[in-house]
Amino acid sequence: MRLFGTSKINGKGHLTIGGCDVADLAMQFGTPLYIIDEELVRKNCSIFREGFAADDIDTEVIYASKAFINLAMCKIINEEGLSLDVVSGGELFTALKAGFPPEKIYMHGNNKTYQEIEMAVKAGIGRIVADNLLELELIEEVCRVSNKSVDILLRVNPGIDAHTHAYIQTSKHDSKFGESIFGENIESMLQHLKDSRNICLKGFHCHIGSQIFEEESFYSEADVMMNFLAELKEKTGFVTEELNLGGGFGVYYSKGDRPVDLKICLKNMLEIVKKQAASLGIKQPKVMIEPGRSIIANAGTTIYEVGGVKNTYSGRNYVFVDGGMTDNPRTALYDAKYDAIVANKAAEASAAEFTVAGKCCESGDVLIRDIELPMAEKGDILAVLSTGAYNYSMASNYNRIPRPAVVLVKDGNARLAVKRESYEDIISNDIMI
């Protein structure tokens, strides 16, 4: 088991995060509870800010907010000097409400609605990342009606086969995202944009997948994209100003995970862009990246109260917790693996192998299969580690279970960032007929 950031075990044998005893947080805020280690979030931002920078190349780090977004998180990201990737009207709304500078917002999505594009154009966001020709026409229409103009990037697909779960691979030839760099559509789009008065094409965006451990995938991506920019210039004369290489840097969840060394990987990506620009004789573009998971995953911990332990006829030991696939659907969806610790028995040796299951009416509602834990019992606090990314943001109300609260911890202080949903919240949009 690996503890991240400010997580420690105190003299009482309790897990502490940000100087707060997790057992006390459970008492104060209730369970389940998402705990965010603010110092680690800020540290991760600085690793990217400093690692993806060099004197001789213009760079920008954009946090992919789909991993975890709320008003407080937008504020932290802004304070840390990162830009923001949003992928829906809801994420854009949150960012704008948090006072995030619109010019530092990038809007993604493979099927943006008229209303979402209108919201983005009216707010004056930095870039819309257009997915296809139909979308260009929609952006054009919104700009014409609102008498505004917008800078865009085109989402392209470099066909890199990054080794990760099939559901989070995004760059295979049959991906729903972007246009392939091997097809004809990109040239048609350039042709279309030549006559546009409202849309200014700044460059290209790609993203090869998520939870990627092979640094080679990122190097191939940079290399393939630079070659594509050179070929495009040769064929059409288009000079690319900006190249966004997306996110996807894998993180440690459990034994066997080997994340790339970010410092090395980020520097090497920049080197490839610089070298290729020189050798291919094209303008060196500004380069962007969009980490989501690698900023927030390890900074999040979900705590649950154990409701009981059950031994099945087949010999499986279940630990039942008061949350489950509603606050963390990743095990059910991707067969994701997590580590956990009994927060109030953090110094005790493991006693048996357990399966951590939630409270949903679903056999697949399992958070962790086969984990060694100390003898867990009713009332214990179980902490599932590295749940910062794609947990709160993918949570649901299945079985009408309210979403947990989110608390930020730092230097012994705990600040509520998102309130726990109430039963009243759950029925707030229902209309009795």
Q: Which is nearer to ligand LLP, 131 or 380 (CB)?
A: 131
Q: Rounded CA gap, 260 and 251, in Å?
A: 8
CB of 275 to ligand LLP, least distance (A): 24
The DSSP letter of residue 249 is B
Active site residue 143: no
Q: Which residues in 318-337 contact ligand LLP (CB under 6 A)?
A: 330, 334
CB of 86 to ligand LLP, least distance (A): 10
Q: End-to-end alpha-carbon separation of the chain, Å?
A: 52
Q: Do residues 301 and 406 lie in contact, with contact meaning Cβ atoms separated by under 8 Å?
A: no
Specify the 3-state DSSP secondary structure of 305: strand
Q: Which two tokens stand for residue 334?
A: 């991707």
Interface mask toward ligand LLP for 88-127; x: CB under 6 A? --------------------x-------------------
Q: Which is nearer to ligand LLP, 246 or 402 (CB)?
A: 246
Range in contact with ligand LLP (rule: CB under 6 A) among 45-53, 60-68, 91-99, 221-229: 60-68
CB of 427 to ligand LLP, least distance (A): 28
Active-site residue identified among 45, 143, 360, 361: 361
Q: Do residues 193 and 136 lie in contact, with contact meaning Cβ atoms separated by under 8 Å?
A: yes
Range in contact with ligand LLP (rule: CB under 6 A) among 36-44, 64-72, 183-191, 425-433: 64-72
Q: Rounded CA gap, 113 and 115, in Å?
A: 5
Is 67 one of the binding residues for ligand LLP (CB under 6 A)? yes
Q: Which of 80, 125, 129 is nearest to 103 (CA)?
A: 125
Range in contact with ligand LLP (rule: CB under 6 A) among 10-18, 205-213, 345-353, 363-371: 205-213
Number of residues that bind ligand LLP (CB under 6 A): 22
Q: Do residues 129 and 155 lie in contact, with contact meaning Cβ atoms separated by under 8 Å?
A: yes
Q: Rounded CA gap, 361 and 219, in Å?
A: 44
Cβ-defined contacts of 21-24 (< 8 Å, 24+)? 22/301, 22/303, 22/343, 22/344, 22/381, 22/383, 23/343, 23/344, 23/381
Q: Which residues in 282-301 contact ligand LLP (CB under 6 A)?
A: 290-294
From the list 248, 300, 324, 388, which residue makes contact with ligand LLP (rule: CB under 6 A)?
Answer: 248
Q: Which of 99, 139, 135 is nearest to 120 (CA)?
A: 139
Place of tokens 């380069």: 287
**Residue 272, Cα to own-chain centre: how many angstroms?**
25
Interface mask toward ligand LLP for 366-405; x: CB under 6 A? ------------------------x---------------
Is 249 one of the binding residues for ligand LLP (CB under 6 A)? yes
Q: Which is nearer to ligand LLP, 210 or 386 (CB)?
A: 210
Q: Which is nearer to ligand LLP, 291 or 323 (CB)?
A: 291
Is 207 one of the binding residues for ligand LLP (CB under 6 A)? yes
Q: Which is nearer to ligand LLP, 25 or 153 (CB)?
A: 153
Residues facing 195 on adjacent strands = none
One-letter amino acid at 378 equals K
Quickly list DSSP for 117-153. HHHHHHHT-SEEEE-SHHHHHHHHHHHHHHT--EEEE
Q: Which is nearer to ligand LLP, 91 or 223 (CB)?
A: 91
Q: Which is nearer to ligand LLP, 167 or 427 (CB)?
A: 167
Residue ranges in contact with ligand LLP by CB under 6 A: 64, 66-67, 85, 108, 168, 170, 207, 210-211, 246-249, 290-294, 330, 334, 390
Catalytic residue ranges: 361
